[in-house]
Amino acid sequence: MGIFLSTPKTQKFSEDGENDRVRYGLSSTQGWPATMEDAAKRVERGNQSSSGSHSKPNHAFSIKEATVHDLQLAFERCQLTSRQLVEFYLGEIHRLNPLLRGVIEVNPDALYQADNADRERKAKAPGSLGGLHGIPVLLKDNIATKDKMSTTAGSLALLGSVVPRDAGVVTKLRKAGAIILGKASLSEWAHFRDNRAPSGWCARSGQGKNPYNLSADPCGSSSGSAISVAANMAAVSLGTETDGSILCPSSNNAIVGIKPTVGLTSRAGVIPITPRQDTVGPMCRTVADAVHVLDAIAGLDYNDKATIEASKYIPGGGYKQFLKPYGLKGKRLGLLRNIFFHFDNGSIFAEAFERHFSTLRQGGAVLVENLDESKFLAAYSSNTDFESVAMNAEFKLALNSYLKELVVSPVRSLKDIIAFNKKFSDLENTKEYGQQLFLDAEATNGIGKKEKEALLHLAKMSRDGLEKLMSENKLDVLLSPFSSASSVLAKGGYPGIIVPAGHDTEGVPFGICFAGLKGSEPTLIEIAYAFEQATRIRRPPPFTP
């Protein structure tokens, strides 16, 4: 990394990415490959199996759009190996990523892990015949891995840093036998550097592209996780959300995203914005896949105290038991038409959601529309952005704490990162995209009177808003289009699941979100799965590079 930082002019991003050593870097310990092709070759050279087998999967099995269940069945029937699966995804990354830029780096140990999974499956080792065993997972680049990969939040400032340990969710994935395929791109610093920066952009990988419409917003900040899964560059992925960062990119890329109750999944080892709102969740092509991942990553982690309290919400037997095709029956769904579903008559959105409301009713759900919308709006109305007031101070404290725990790091504080962005403004696009959120956060001085008042207001908003709406009307979920309700869920630490709902006139996907109170994931899964099975809207992107 020292070589890179000392010669920024020679490493400046090229327009087409062909000679960009940073964009497709594999490992800070192995030097920079010039292109993704070099990266793929390096992985291949370093991870040849002892058998040397590179046979293609059985012609009867198609990997594209395959679910976790499909893949496990193919393993069982000897139609596919984990090595073949990883090779397929590495090939798709090599083919598609120079355009889509959904992946920052691939794991040089991915094929080694795949060979190990194949050996365990052949030996019928405990835990090797199902779940996520042998399944490649792509991680958002703010989720730490103690391996040959970097964890940088998409920023050049953290290149060369060394984390003390795997993130809590990564530890759980490894225990489940999953293969860590690589790191997904993201809106840099989880889109908390400056609001001027476009969704999906980071210095390490450039601008991520929506595979359904290359000029459309991929949304963020978990943009790369969504892009990669949507375009079949990975089986499943993990994203993070503080306010909309799983739900929005999932909506825009026709995938399923689960924003769990805060604390249901560990945030330890995740580059933070605010522990009060941050959560880690699955981003997958189907509800069932997302639930498989949630089962693997949810649970207690003593490095994240919030998991101690939230673990009480995890049902015995896990979440797969709630994948019920008749899960809509008897459910009460709150519909705030004038707040969330106010579309022009005859518009593609109006027609699509009316069809979906009919589908929900036909499945046995009750859509509750006679709700006090003005009361709900009043609960969240304020002249002050209390979320930002609290978040600025929380971000500085949480980030500085994360940076100080790193074993090695070129930066040790938010102040250091601000200075880095000024010094290397040509690489970080600082003049164009700014860093105002960083500057606002750096100007804070802990949790003072103003911040404490903001926190009290946020708690009151949640009590008087969603909690009262749900309890007074005996609702199971609140419906919303796209990620429109993300701020409501963020303020209260509530969960939501988004499922593909259609495509607009430009071919850009959009989703429908099912939201609930803390710990309501079982109910949300029942509803989301039943809706998905009744509609089956997701389709792979049509483009070819």
Check if the beta carbon of residue 134 is closer than 8 Å to that of residue 119.
no
Dihedral, CA atoms, 369, 374, 378, 381, nearest 10 degrees? 90
Per the residue annotation, which of 28, 185, 221, 225 is the catalytic one? 221
CA 204, chain centre distance (Å): 18
Which run of H or E residues covers position 206? strand 206-207
Instruction: Look at the block and give the residue holding tokens 């960009």.
Output: 20
Q: Which of 128, 222, 245, 251 is catalytic?
A: 245
- Measured distance CA(525)–CA(367) in Å, rounded: 17
Rg (CA), the chain: 22
243/169 Cα distance (integer angstroms): 20
Query: Is residue 221 annotated as part of the catalytic site, yes or no?
Result: yes
187 close to 220: Cβ distance less than 8 angstroms: yes
Q: Which helix (H) or strand (E) holds 87?
A: helix 82-100
Q: Is residue 430 helix, strand or coil?
A: helix
Q: Which of 28, 140, 199, 266 is catalytic?
A: 140
- Is 245 designated active site? yes
Tokens found for residue 450: 């103003």
* Bridge partners, residue 284, by sequence: 256
What are the angstrom distances between the C-alpha of 273 and each of 3, 76, 222, 245, 401? 30, 42, 14, 12, 11
Q: What DSSP line would sit under 369-381, residue for residue?
A: ----HHHHHHHH-
State how far the Cα of 340 lies from the Cα of 346, in Å rounded to an integer.
Answer: 16
| Terminal CA-CA length for the chain | 31
- Please return the burial class of 494, using the count of CB atoms within 10 Å of its CB with bins 0-12, 13-18 and 19+: buried
Q: How far is CA 381 from each of CA 374, 393, 437, 492, rounded to the nearest angstrom?
A: 10, 22, 23, 15
Active-site annotation holds for 225: no
**377 token code pair:** 């709006």
Q: Would you name the residues annotated as active-site residues?
A: 140, 221, 245
